[in-house]
Amino acid sequence: MNAARGLLGEYMIAGKKIVIGALVPTDFVPLYGWFNDVAAVRLDGIFRPVNLASHLQWCQNIGNDPTKVMFAIRRCGDAAIIGYLNISSINGVHRSADIGIRIGEEENRNQGFGKEALRLGLDYCWKHLNLERVALTVFSKNARAIHVYRAAGFKKEGTLRRYCFVDGEWIDTVIMAAFRPSPRKIRKSAAGAVHAAAGQDAMTIAV
């Protein structure tokens, strides 16, 4: 994991293809559209329309909750947001949290952006939040998401039967979690990320 100065002036955590960093005001409109995307929301939750006033208030207050961290996902060298990574329910006693991710538009999916964002997010959880366990839930029929989570290091812990009622049917929900790796693996991950991101960081700083 490597930090670089972003196109918009904020510090970002860089990978090979994408960077994750703070939200900025220009991200608020795309986020509003994604939160109101019925088809996408059905993949992981119950759809409720979000009004603009509430959305803007939420965006302004996102950094005030110590139990949450939210990252914008961007392509390396591009200021446009393509998705977001949300770390929530951060518990300092149990050293645990939940994580969620969304790539906003179909054109940016199936390109490895989500997997890399999850890897960077987990690295942040281990190194900066000192967490031991990071969990997520996913609908059992969302095979694409489950594949991405497994590739990022999450393992299935169980299934909540008929847990959610979405679009006229009951949906089973799968619980998955990733655990803090050994110190050696964390150091190895850091070294690999710095090496892989070096060229992209130089480009980002120069833009």
Count of Cβ atoms closer than 10 Å to residue 93 Cβ: 5
> Choosing from 11, 32, 84, 149, which is the catalytic residue?
149
Task: Tell me the residue type at 136.
Answer: L
149 is catalytic: yes
Distances (CA, A) of 38 to 43, 52, 73, 126, 168: 9, 16, 21, 33, 14
**What are residue 114's phi and psi, to 5 degrees?**
-65, -45
Q: What is the torsional sign of CA 43, 48, 152, 85?
A: positive
Q: What is the Cα–Cα distance from 188 to 75, expressed in whole angstroms?
A: 24
Active site (catalytic) residues? 149
